[in-house]
A = this chain, B = another copy of it.
Amino acid sequence: MADGADRTGGEATGDRRARKRRQTRRRLLDAARTRLAEVGLDALAVADITARADVGTGTFYNYFTGLDDTVAALIEEEVEALGRRIDALTATMADPAEVIAVSLRHLMSTAASDPVWGGFIVRLGIAHPSLVAALGPRASRDMQRGIDEGRFDIPNLPMAEEVAFGSVLSAIHAHQRSPVPDRDPTVDLAAYNLRLLGLTPAEAAEVCARPLPALPAAPERAV
């Protein structure tokens, strides 16, 4: 008999099972996120996550191969969710330079203030595929628009994307380690990146001095 598709209510049972699986996975991810905020990445343990999610150890391993896997799933989800909120905020902006500046400022600001982002992004590093997959296409789209509209001067677009990407991670790391007094790191990071894209220092400073609009609220997580 095919999974959850018989004549005695099996389809409903299948739906229920799938929903229950999603809920359990969600509970494990939420527990992992909470524990991360409490104890940090180095002290994170499967036992803490399962205790908080109120499931057995075996259940955990039905969903994840281990801690690294859990953390990767969490990051993928978080990066994508932030990407969508930034997309919503910048979609109607008239100036491609402001799109880049606002995106980078919120990316850095979130990473500097959020335990999941802040704890991981530097350790994950530049080669982590979930970061690249979520951020790469957005950077590419936003930079291409600036080229098309004559606002940017970018001889090698893939490298410009990579340089921007590396600069964000490195700036977050630097800010975590030793913040520079009296400087808004999000402004400095964005301004350096606009220079990189071809704006003069004065043009870059002007764009980054504009007020930073707030991100739309994070949506409730789908279960």
User: What residues make up the interface of A, taking CB atoms closer than 8 Å to B?
Assistant: 122-123, 125-127, 153, 155-156, 158-163, 165-171, 173-175, 178, 180, 183, 185, 188-189, 191-193, 195-196, 198, 200-201
**Residue contact B126 to A188, C-beta cutoff 8 Å:** no
Give chain B nearest CB distance to A142 CB in angstroms: 16
Answer whether A165 and B170 are a contact pair too, CB < 8 Å, given A155-B183, A191-B155. yes
**Residue contact A166 to B156, C-beta cutoff 8 Å:** no
Answer whether A192 and B159 are a contact pair too, CB < 8 Å, given A126-B125, A173-B127. yes
Taken together as a complex, chains A and B put the C-alpha atoms of A102 and B162 apart, in Å, by 20
Known: A125-B126, A159-B171, A166-B170. 20 other contacts (CB 8 A): A122-B125, A122-B126, A122-B127, A125-B125, A127-B173, A153-B201, A156-B185, A156-B188, A158-B178, A158-B180, A161-B174, A162-B170, A162-B171, A166-B166, A166-B168, A166-B173, A167-B170, A193-B196, A195-B198, A196-B196
Q: Kindly list chain B residues whose C-beta atoms are within 8 Å of the C-beta of A171.
A: 159, 162-163, 166
Q: Kindly list chain B residues whose C-beta atoms are within 8 Å of the C-beta of A169.
A: 126, 166, 170
Q: Kindly list chain B residues whose C-beta atoms are within 8 Å of the C-beta of A173.
A: 126-127, 162, 166
Give the secondary structure class of A's interface: helix
Taken together as a complex, chains A and B put the C-alpha atoms of A81 and B201 apart, in Å, by 35
Query: In the complex, which of the residues A167, A169, A178 has the most CB atoms of chain B within 10 Å of its own CB atom?
Result: A167
Taken together as a complex, chains A and B put the C-alpha atoms of A163 and B189 apart, in Å, by 8
Taken together as a complex, chains A and B put the C-alpha atoms of A54 and B206 apart, in Å, by 63
Q: Kindly list chain B residues whose C-beta atoms are within 8 Å of the C-beta of A122.
A: 125-127
